[in-house]
Chains A and B, each alone.
Chain A
């Protein structure tokens, strides 16, 4: 089957059939009018032959739909460029060896769920001794001094701890957010580190289900890690970036 990468469309069982499944609710009472509204709405999304396969009354004048349609839009896959964290991923042993050989001291990493966020699953997956999905967390790395400050840490507190512990890198996790509060919170941290004159010294990393590397760069972070990232991804980036900065400093400084 030949794929036209300049004009790709969703695939169901036939090339370019455009098959898409959708589910959503509308604030209208359940009935034939509701079904028609869902159908029309999906047509406006650019779907041909919208089919409402399931409709359910949610009460309070709301209705739920499962709709299939054939998407008419295409995208040019060949022109897509996504900035990625450009680091070769090392494993646990490789990272520790890298630290021994290229940095020669322990790398201090502070992790926290900042602001109002109380969901530590993400930061725990990266930091905890036990780790996640078969990968040890940073606390297990002999070359890394890892401090997990937990949840709901104010940015000011994180920064105070960073100064006290002479941190090399800050890991900020943002999991559950509402109305974009994580953006404001992440931006504030960058501003605070700048105000304290620490931005150059610190490697700022953020992560979470809604974080992308591109967005992290936009906010002034050094890297962003989305869902599925594990400790070695984060650690590889940190140690290479730290080594890069040190070597650059040595070159320009001396």
Chain B
């Protein structure tokens, strides 16, 4: 496989090997810890849902109670399954009684380890069977209805009101969208619980709640039946509740989740241990649910210059790929991100964009790459912006991207109006259709500008990855080697929700997921030797 750019396969192997070691090192460290979000996720997967009288979600109530009583290091499942066995209650009933104050989890007489594990694995199998059923449902629908051609047309709705979102999402589906993403309310990534029920007010977006997921899913299914095409639903599996959102998305048959290993650390100042632990569990769930993840490399370019920082995007793609592999997520579900963010005034800037997109395509041949539109250089001149988006679409079809996040001419002005989306879809459909096989006809001049540019970016990414590998990811983050942001190991939000696993730690879902995903235990073949390779 030499591809159109004649990239050096040895350089690609070196990059992948370095990234694999970076991820494996982190995995050894995070394997010893859990987080409040992981434990709340275990509860949700066991069927715990709802809120107490003060509106606090029951998974939070139970986990907070266990923290208080210093029981959480054993895992929430240990106590809830035990109480379940003792009283013959469902985990949800146990949580409700805990919230009501009529049950004290840590003083329930302890069942034998063997019956605890038996009941735990029964609950885990039941929980995961429900997710598997949703996955089959998706597969059946796609087989029956069909789906859009790649690149999928991905649009965003962001009204703040889930009912308004449904109207906008269905309208977008009729116009040709393949993926509808509901942007979250901007504050949500930093709140340490998932709001409950339907919501009709948000800031710059709509709260991610399980009920909102369900409503939107229903709306898009209806639209999909009418237009004869499966419409994918996307949300944001990021922030302090990353694995909980993954579980909720898996249960409500979301299809795509924004899910980046490093984004929260770099751009939301979430503690690095917290995010890395949370992303691992969330990716196992996404992997098992058949959900495509979208990583957030485009964010590197919103602050840094897209020409100079191009290699950081590639380096992050390699790292995200390896974290995803460690969590059992197959390449076909890795929507690795990149973006069309170079200054439009740059001479031959289009050639560099083309080089970057083609290079990503060739290095990650099986990943449905997620291509992000221009945002940084959008000006409010909607007419020029529409052309910038057209240039972006041309690169998308020419290089065979998997997911095209459609640019809006009104980017940087307001959340999209209903016709902004229409015009964006029209733009993409025109170009994708009109230039469908252009990529098959194009070769790049050997030693030419495009080829040279791609080589240079790959070489710099290799250098960067090997440097990060030599000191480890945590130290690299502390030194500000990624995105020029320095983050300390014990700084940032959410560290108080990280705890060491006790001797008796138990998470039946992780065990069952590892089994079903064909992943070995964490202890076997740890750091620095298992260079996971994708090809």
Identify A62's interface contact among B171, B186, B413, CB under 8 A: B171
Identify B302's interface contact among A25, A121, A177, CB under 8 A: A121
Instruction: Tell whether, in the assembled complex, residue A178 and residue B175 are in contact, meaning their CB atoms are under 8 Å apart.
Output: no
Identify A177's interface contact among B185, B189, B201, B203, CB under 8 A: B203
Instruction: Tell whether, in the assembled complex, residue A178 and residue B174 are in contact, meaning their CB atoms are under 8 Å apart.
Output: no
Tell me how many residue pairs across A and B have CB atoms closer than 8 Å. Answer: 78
**Closest chain A residue to B378 by CB distance?**
A121
Q: Please tell me which stretch of A32-40, A52-60, A93-101, A236-244 contacts chain B, meaning at least 4 of its Cβ atoms lie within 8 angstroms of it.
A: A52-60
**How many residues of B are in contact with the other chain, CB < 8 A?**
35
Contact A178-B415, Cβ < 8 Å, known A121-B375, A124-B302: yes
CB of B428 to closest CB in A, whole Å: 15
**Closest chain B residue to A118 by CB distance?**
B186
Residues of A within 8 A of B304 (CB): 130
Chain A contact residues, majority secondary structure: loop
Q: Please tell me which stretch of B57-65, B416-424, B442-450, B457-465 contacts chain A, meaning at least 4 of its Cβ atoms lie within 8 angstroms of it.
A: B416-424
Any B CB within 8 A of the CB of A175: yes
Instruction: Tell whether, in the assembled complex, residue A60 and residue B170 are in contact, meaning their CB atoms are under 8 Å apart.
Output: yes
Identify A25's interface contact among B269, B379, B418, CB under 8 A: B418
Any A CB within 8 A of the CB of B376: yes
Proximity bits, B254-285, A CB within 8 Å = 1, else 0? 00000000000001110000000000000000
Identify A116's interface contact among B204, B269, B302, B422, CB under 8 A: B204
Interface residues of A in 117-148 (CB under 8 A from B): 117-118, 120-121, 124, 128, 130
**Closest chain B residue to A182 by CB distance?**
B203
Contact A25-B419, Cβ < 8 Å, known A178-B204, A227-B380: yes
**Closest chain A residue to B304 by CB distance?**
A130
Interface residues of B in 390-432 (CB under 8 A from A): 412-415, 417-419, 422
Instruction: Tell whether, in the assembled complex, residue B302 and residue A59 are in contact, meaning their CB atoms are under 8 Å apart.
Output: no
Instruction: Tell whether, in the assembled complex, residue A124 and residue B203 are in contact, meaning their CB atoms are under 8 Å apart.
Output: no
Any B CB within 8 A of the CB of A150: yes
Docked Cα-Cα span, A123 to B519, in Å, equals 44
Contact A116-B305, Cβ < 8 Å, known A64-B419, A178-B204: no
Contact A58-B190, Cβ < 8 Å, known A116-B203, A116-B204, A209-B413: no
Instruction: Tell whether, in the assembled complex, residue B269 and residue A58 are in contact, meaning their CB atoms are under 8 Å apart.
Output: no
**Closest chain B residue to A150 by CB distance?**
B269
CB of A182 to closest CB in B, whole Å: 10
Residues of A within 8 A of B422 (CB): 56, 58, 64
Residues of A within 8 A of B303 (CB): 120, 124, 128
**How many residues of A are in contact with the other chain, CB < 8 A?**
28
Instruction: Tell whether, in the assembled complex, residue A152 and residue B268 are in contact, meaning their CB atoms are under 8 Å apart.
Output: yes
Instruction: Tell whether, in the assembled complex, residue A24 and residue B204 are in contact, meaning their CB atoms are under 8 Å apart.
Output: no
Residues of A within 8 A of B170 (CB): 59-60
Identify A58's interface contact among B160, B171, B189, B302, CB under 8 A: B171
Residues of B within 8 A of A25 (CB): 417-419
Docked Cα-Cα span, A219 to B414, in Å, equals 22
Any B CB within 8 A of the CB of A108: no
Instruction: Tell whether, in the assembled complex, residue A176 and residue B419 are in contact, meaning their CB atoms are under 8 Å apart.
Output: no
Any A CB within 8 A of the CB of B202: yes
Docked Cα-Cα span, A194 to B185, in Å, equals 30
Most A C-beta atoms less than 10 A away, residue of B167, B379, B415: B167
Proximity bits, A160-177, B CB within 8 Å = 1, else 0? 000000000000000111
Docked Cα-Cα span, A104 to B171, in Å, equals 60
Identify A60's interface contact among B160, B171, B417, CB under 8 A: B171
Given contacts A23-B419, A116-B203, A121-B375, 9 further A-B contacts (CB under 8 A): A60-B170, A64-B419, A116-B187, A118-B189, A118-B268, A130-B305, A152-B190, A152-B268, A227-B379
> Can you list 7 pairs linking A and B with CB atoms under 8 Å apart?
A56-B419, A58-B419, A58-B422, A120-B303, A178-B202, A209-B412, A227-B380
